[in-house]
């Protein structure tokens, strides 16, 4: 969420930002919120004048009573009561304007970074760099669920009977491999100096609206019926929410945390064949990282964070590339974002396995996350990034380590988490 003062002083910058994000339909919101802000400031000024007037009159009452002028004192009391009635009406109007302004401001996207490429959607994202040599073997690699089924590692039919489409049972060595990935990702981030955390898997609505736009909320979140609780779509939500309404000590920054959680997503809409199986599902596990830091340090952390994901995948010998997200592909709260994509030797192309985002102070303004300063408190910057999100990482692992006989080579770094096992073999 932007600062209303910034919108008031820089309306053309905000309009230009909407155009860059191809959200011209929101342009009328700028004039609307500026007009509401003007009315709100006028009504606040009127309230201040009424309170000052009331205080001046109230101070006269005691003097008049002390001088025995009760009738004059009663007249002034009547004036004070009228002012009190007017103040109540004024404060109600002030609250209405403030609520209306906030509702509009929460629909206006964050200002994108100058380096963000301009484009309408993810088809116009820009490749930044490739890491590792993509390899296509001279034998066919089956679809990932077919690989897992031959290894007795997945049961989609039972999951459909139990929960419907978008769910799965992982079993045996495949289930163990997913746990190994998460354990390795956890330890990898701890070695980077991040604090490990297991957060709440449900959050309240005021946290949900603090970490994402209304559009994202509707498309992603599952609500718990009868309660003000939502299942998290990623642990970033509850991890950033941890700092809600907090005034942070400058000496304690940055907060660098890595968190494990199950994730729950609606995943609305129809998806193609490459997104069946376990690519786009309603429930999965993930290791995440978040940073809460000084504003001037956020882009330094941004570059560190996505590089950690690249390093993690390369330690598993999986080729990856980074893609700069274009303006139209950025969610409203993001100022800059980069996707990490893993190589699929079966499809002979890359596919998304993680995303790193700098949200500058957009979440902090919504959630009230401030840093204490002698010169006045200011809003912290927040960032998030995927460390590892099985089962998408499983797809990359299976395809890049698939042997012609159907067995899977286990990367060296994962073997300690698999009891020393070097291969998963067809039984």
**pLDDT grade for 270, boundaries at 50, 70 and 90:** very low
pLDDT tens-place string over residues 392-402: 999 999 999 99
Q: Is the pTM of this model over 0.95?
A: no
pLDDT tens-place string over residues 363-397: 999 999 999 998 889 999 999 999 999 889 999 99
Calculate the CA dihedral of residues 108, 110, 114, 116 and round it to 10 degrees: -90
* pLDDT score of 273: 44
Residues of the chain with CATH 1.10.287.40: 4-105
Half-sphere exposure of 72 (CA within 13 A, CB side): 11
342 with 313: CB under 8 angstroms? yes
Fold entry, domain 4-105: Helix Hairpins (1.10.287)
- How many helices (H) and strands (E) are present in the chain, helices listed first? 13, 18
The phi-psi region of residue 419 (left if phi > 0; otherwise alpha if psi is between -120 and 50; otherwise beta) is: left
Q: In the predicted model, what is the mean pLDDT of the chain?
A: 94
CATH 3.30.930.10 fits domain 122-424: yes
Per the model's pLDDT, the better-predicted residue between 59 and 254 turns out to be 254
* pLDDT score of 269: 52
Residue of 405, 412, 393 lying closest to 174 (CA atoms): 393
Calculate the CA dihedral of residues 182, 185, 186, 187 and round it to 10 degrees: 130
Residues of the chain with CATH 3.30.930.10: 122-424
CA distance 72 to 213: 57
């Amino acid at each position: 969420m932007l600062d209303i003062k910034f919108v008031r002083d820089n309306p053309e910058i905000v309009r230009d930002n909407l155009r860059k994000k191809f959200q011209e339909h929101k342009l009328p919101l700028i004039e609307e919120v500026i007009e509401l802000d003007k009315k709100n400031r006028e009504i606040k000024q009127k309230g201040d004048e009424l309170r000052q007037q009331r205080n001046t009159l109230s101070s006269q009452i005691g003097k008049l009573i002390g001088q025995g002028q009760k009738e004059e004192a009663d007249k002034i009391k009547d004036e004070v009561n009228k002012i009190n009635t007017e103040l109540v009406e004024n404060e109600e109007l002030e609250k209405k304007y403030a609520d209306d302004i906030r509702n509009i401001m929460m629909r206006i996207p964050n200002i994108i970074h100058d380096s963000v490429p301009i484009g309408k959607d993810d088809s116009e994202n820009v490749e930044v760099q490739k890491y590792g040599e993509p390899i296509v073997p001279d034998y066919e690699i089956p679809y990932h669920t077919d690989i897992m089924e031959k290894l007795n590692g997945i049961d989609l039919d039972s999951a459909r009977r139990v929960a419907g489409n978008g769910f799965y049972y992982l079993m045996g060595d495949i289930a163990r491999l997913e746990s190994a990935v998460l354990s390795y990702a956890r330890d990898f981030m701890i070695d980077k100096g991040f604090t490990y955390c297991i957060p709440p898997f449900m959050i309240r609505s005021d946290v949900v609206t603090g970490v994402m736009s209304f559009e994202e909320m509707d498309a992603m979140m599952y609500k718990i019926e009868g309660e003000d609780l939502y299942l998290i779509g990623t642990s970033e939500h509850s991890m950033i929410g941890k700092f809600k309404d907090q005034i942070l000590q400058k000496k304690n920054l940055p907060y660098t945390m890595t968190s494990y959680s199950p994730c729950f997503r609606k995943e609305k809409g129809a998806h193609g064949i490459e997104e069946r199986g376990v690519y786009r599902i309603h429930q999965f596990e993930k290791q995440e990282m978040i940073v809460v830091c000084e504003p001037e340090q956020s882009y330094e952390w941004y570059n560190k964070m996505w590089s950690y994901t690249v390093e993690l995948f390369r330690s598993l010998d999986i080729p990856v590339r980074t893609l700069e997200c274009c303006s139209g592909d950025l969610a409203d709260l993001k100022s800059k974002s980069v996707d990490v994509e893993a190589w699929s030797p079966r499809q002979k192309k890359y596919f998304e396995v993680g995303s790193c985002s700098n949200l500058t102070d957009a979440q902090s303004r919504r959630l009230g996350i401030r840093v204490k300063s002698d010169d006045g408190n200011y809003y912290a910057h927040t960032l998030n990034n995927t460390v590892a999100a099985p089962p998408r990482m499983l797809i990359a692992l299976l395809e890049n380590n698939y042997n012609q006989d159907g067995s899977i080579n286990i990367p060296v770094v994962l073997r300690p988490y698999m009891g020393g096992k070097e291969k998963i073999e067809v039984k």
